[in-house]
Amino acid sequence: MTRNPRSLTFKGKIGAHAVLLAFTLFSIYPVLQVISISLRPGDRLLSRSLAIIPENANLHSYYQLFFEEPFLRWMVNSIIISFFVTIVGVSLAATAGYAFSRYRFRGRNASLLGIITTQMFPVTMLLLPLFIMLIKLGLYDSYLGLIIAYSATALPFTIWQMKGYYDTIPYSLEEAAFIDGASPLYAFYRIILPLAVPALAITALFSFMAAWSEYLVAAVLIQDRQLFTLPLGLKLFQSNMEVAWGLYSAGAVIVSIPVVLLFIFLSRWLISGLTLGSVKG
């Protein structure tokens, strides 16, 4: 008699749940901690209590964040930038990945290797020249600079991941379309692209996160407080002499909610998308 290799003995089940519970606790504790601090009343921010739901919990920090701090301004900036980066990122990765998967052309292997190589650049290698260039050109402090920079930084990973996904779609689909008289463009847009939705979703997520969650490039390229993105704003709460824990935590909760929800919503595609795409190459 053999048993299903995926089933566990009773003892095994208890052990498995114990391990999973322990690590789940480890994963969610810092998140709970931030939520907890964001709910603390103003006079208890520096409390030594470990309670998750603080005494006299209220939403004062959130009120302050939206009505007394330029948080909405930062949020609008981040939304505009992330929106354009997502659009640019998805369209460029979708087309470039397709060409790399389907066509053999001069410079193909060199470009693919070049794209991987960019992942090895230490961030200063690009930032320092960009910084010097922008000072000399007087192009400091602009949305456009950030949008271009973020679109390009997300691309290497997303192109590879799109290419890997297209690789798993059989050529016979396009060939059948060609026999029916479809043009190569039509075959790409109407037949292959709809099949690649999971990979497109992952690409959109990573492009969006590249802009929404980026601190360093913004710190170097943006000085004008009117143009601050959310990461710069949140860091501001922490770098003042007196750390504004309540504001920081409330901000962190608001900023994380959309990405965490997106991430979890897309996580069913994450498993196949990532392993087929970026990794099997």
Partner 1 sequence: MKFVDKKNNWQSASGKSEKFSGHNRLAYLYVAPALLIMSFVVLYPFIYNFVISFSNMNLAHFRDWSLKGLHNYLLVLSEKSFWYFLYKTILWTVINLVFHVTIGVYLALILNKDIRGKTIYRTLLILPWAVPQYITALTWRGMFNSEYGAVNLMLERFLGVQYPWLSTEWGAFSACLIANIWLGFPFMMIIALGGLQSIPDELYEAADIDGASPWHKFRNITVPLLKPVMVPAITLGVIWTFNNFNVVWLVSNGGEPSDKTHILVSWVYKSAFTYFRMGYAAAFSMIIFAILFIFGWKFIKSTRVTENVYG
Count Cβ atoms below 10 Å from residue 42 Cβ, excluding itself. 10
DSSP E strands in 126-204: the ranges are none
Which of 10, 171, 224, 240: binder of partner 1 (CB under 8 A)?
171
- Between residue 68 and residue 97, which ones bind partner 1 under the rule CB under 8 A? 88, 91-93, 95-96
The pair phi, psi for residue 33, each rounded to 5°, is: -60, -45
Sign (positive/negative) of CA torsion 147, 153, 156, 161?
negative
> Which pair of tokens denotes residue 110?
């060199």
Q: Which is nearer to partner 1, 58 or 109 (CB)?
A: 109
The length of the chain in residues reads 281
Q: Which residues have C-beta within 8 Å of that of residue 227, sequence separation ≥ 6?
A: 77, 141, 142, 143
HSE at residue 42, side-chain half, CA atoms within 13 A, is 6
- Which among 56-64, 69-77, 166-174, 189-197 is the span making contact with partner 1, rule CB under 8 A? 166-174
- Between residue 4 and residue 43, which ones bind partner 1 under the rule CB under 8 A? 4-8, 12-13, 16-17, 19-20, 23-24, 26-31, 33-34, 37
- Which among 66-74, 79-87, 195-203, 242-250 is the span making contact with partner 1, rule CB under 8 A? 242-250
Q: Closest separation between CB of residue 58 and partner 1, Å?
A: 19
Instruction: State the distance between the two ends of the chain, measured CA to CA, in whole angstroms.
Output: 40
- Between residue 187 and residue 226, which ones bind partner 1 under the rule CB under 8 A? 209, 212-216, 220
Q: Is 54 in the site for partner 1 (CB under 8 A)?
A: no
Q: Closest separation between CB of residue 73 and partner 1, Å?
A: 19
Which of 71, 74, 228, 245: binder of partner 1 (CB under 8 A)?
245
